[in-house]
Structure 1
Amino acid sequence: MPNDAQSPAHAQDREIESLDEFDRVVRAGTLGGYRVQSVDLTARTPELLRTDTADAVFLGCPMEPRAADKVRADGAMVFPPVPHLPFDPYRGFVYSPDQLFEGLAENGYEATPDARAYAWFQRTKADGDILASMLRAVHDDAISDALDELLAGARVVGVMGGHAMARGTDAYAGAARLGRSLTRTGLTVATGGGPGAMEAANLGAYAASHPDDMLDEALDMLAEAPSFVPSISDWARAAFEIRARWPKGEASIGIPTWFYGHEPPNAFAAHIAKYFANATREDGLLARSNAGVVFLPGAAGTVQEIFDNATPNYYESRGEPTPMVLVDRAHWTERLPAWPLLTALARERRMESRIALVDTVDEAPAALARLAAG
């Protein structure tokens, strides 16, 4: 998986997501049939005036009026940029931590694009405005498209767990070691992108390219700001201090949602696919975990994810179900007894060889590898 979120579109598609791609296509002679996503074309008027754009689609691309008139006359569809939005509904790439947290150092979290997008969502989600709901849907579809392009060919392992897991705890350190171990085996770690266990797994993935003692030092530093409550700003700044001290970490994926926007995204996922619709986010995270899923101790949300993942496995008829590893025997058999029900479902479909229950988080990578090997 590329480290650079601004990777070029795949050659087989007809999407243009950067000026470099635009220029390459124009040199080849035609824009006909292409979809141009959120590319500023105000400096490309001569090219637009002389290039065929029949059946092209321009999604949120600023351009001069005479260029817009010409491409419409060619038969192209032009969806103009939407003013005064704190997000780009047509974006061609997933987010980076720097993009979502822009302005954090100077003005605090409340001034960041992430916080402003959540505030917009809070204002518009219940007012019945069809434009706002359409913009949210367009944005989420664009994010899904960008995520599919980013993950093409990657072996993705999902790590699920609760948001309440605090920095400085043994559980947080264990989740970080898990993320590091999985990444070092060549897997791409994907989480729900938020705080707690999700952040810990993304941190561990980030640490995979550094010496082992880097993670120990990072955990000690982060413990000074154990939670995003009461200050998201302090919590996020601590993460960016880690990134600045140890740059060039390994890439992982975070898939959070503004539906739970009071929980900020974490800064250790190199690529953040943030959605407005939580259902789309949940389904997309699990569906893309093609190398398996590890479920750390959690509450209602993690229980839901276990059975959201078990359901397509139960009905799978064309391929192998994805491996599922549950961590903490007491948690999943006594406190929240999801394991007995999961075992019963697996027995009906003879899927016992695709699920495992382990006592400790450090056992999870080996269990996942064993299940994957059949």
Structure 2
Amino acid sequence: MPSNDKRGQFDPVPDPARRRGSVVLRHKQAQTPQADRYLLDSHEGSGFTHTDPWRVLRIQSEFVEGFGTLSELGPAVSVFGSARAHRDSENYAHAETIGRILAEAGYAVITGGGPGAMEGANKGAVSAAGTSVGLGIELPFETGLNEWVDVGINFRYFFARKTMFVKYSQGFIVLPGGFGTLDELFEALTLVQTEKVTSFPIVLMGTAYWGPLLDWLRGTVAAHGAISPSDLNLVKITDDPVEAAQLAMAHGNGNGNGHGLPKE
């Protein structure tokens, strides 16, 4: 007798989940605009005068959550790079090596918490029994925090997230990446150039990838007087992940443990 069980015929294709702060959105709810878009989009009506003040409280809560979670993290280095780096790629391997070396020296490793190079760095930190931090962000298509993050925070707003990267890091290591990586790189360069942060090493990993950018900055931007030639001294470049980690730690002081946040 044929079975009347038709459950498998109507199983929906799983929709990717999206996080909005501590909230998980799936299916149709995952298509709602991001919080940053609500805040920055100029096409809202006059109702913004009623909603923006409440957003201030939400933004405040993200800063409070970040400060409260990371305030006792200890020395840390942020590692940036493409979410599209495959696990069998050189960039992933370099990120993993960097994460391991930093953790062995007592530094926490902070990434954007996503896949690719970020996952590699988090994995390397965990392999050395170090603290692996992921600062996630609400995006239209995301996979959530990678499995190697052991201290994770999800943000709605880019500017709150970027504040945490700079405030709790002693340096940046930047592997090949796209717009997001470039945004983080130039934000750090601007803060160092304007002396908003001091003694903050910025290390580029990959001469073939970053060399043309530095050539353009030197030959075009500096040549036009838009930056000083000495501004290019704010960044170091290398192909060696060991040297990258050492350069990032040059102005810092590892805490000798890197094994997690103090218990309350």
Same fold by TM-score greater than 0.5: yes
Matched, 1:299 2:178: yes
Aligned with 1:274: secondary structure? strand
Aligned with 2:113: secondary structure? coil
Maintained 8 Å contact 2:77/2:248: no
Amino acid at match of 2:207: R
Q: Which runs of 5+ in 2 are unaligned?
A: 1-13, 39-43, 254-264
Aligned length: 221
TM-score scaled by length of structure 1? 0.51
Q: How does 1:82-161 map to 2 (within 5 A)?
A: 110=17, 115-116=24-25, 120=29, 122-125=31-34, 138-153=57-72, 154-161=74-81
Give the counterpart of 2:126 among 200, 206, 222.
206
Greater share of residues in helix: 1
Q: Deviations over 1:150-200 (max 9, x none)?
A: 222422211010110011223212211111111111111111111111111
Maintained 8 Å contact 1:303/1:338: no
Distance 2:242 2:102 in 1: 11
TM-score scaled by length of structure 2? 0.69
CA positional deviation for 1:302: 1.5
CA positional deviation for 1:312: 1.0
Q: Deviations over 1:228-282 (max 9, x none)?
A: xxxxxxxxxxxxxxxxxxxxxx33211111134434321211122211223432x
Distance 1:118 1:262, change over 3 A: farther
Structure with bigger gyration radius? 1
Maintained 8 Å contact 2:111/2:121: yes
Distance 1:169 1:196 in 2: 9
Distance 1:197 1:359 in 2: 15
Greater share of residues in strand: 2
Distance 1:140 1:254 in 2: 19
Partner of 1:341: 217
Q: Deviations over 1:74-119 (max 9, x none)?
A: xxxxxxxxxxxxxxxxxxxxxxxxxxxxxxxxx9964997641796
CA positional deviation for 1:140: 4.2
CA positional deviation for 1:206: 1.3
Give the counterpart of 1:175 among 90, 95, 104.
95
Q: Deviations over 1:57-79 (max 9, x none)?
A: xxxxxxxxxxxxxxxxxxxxxxx
Amino acid at match of 1:369: M
Kindly report the root-mean-square deviation, in angstroms, between the aligned alpha carbons of the 2 structures: 3.4
CA positional deviation for 1:339: 6.2
User: Alignment identity in percent?
Assistant: 24
Higher relative contact order (CA 8 A, sep 6+): 2
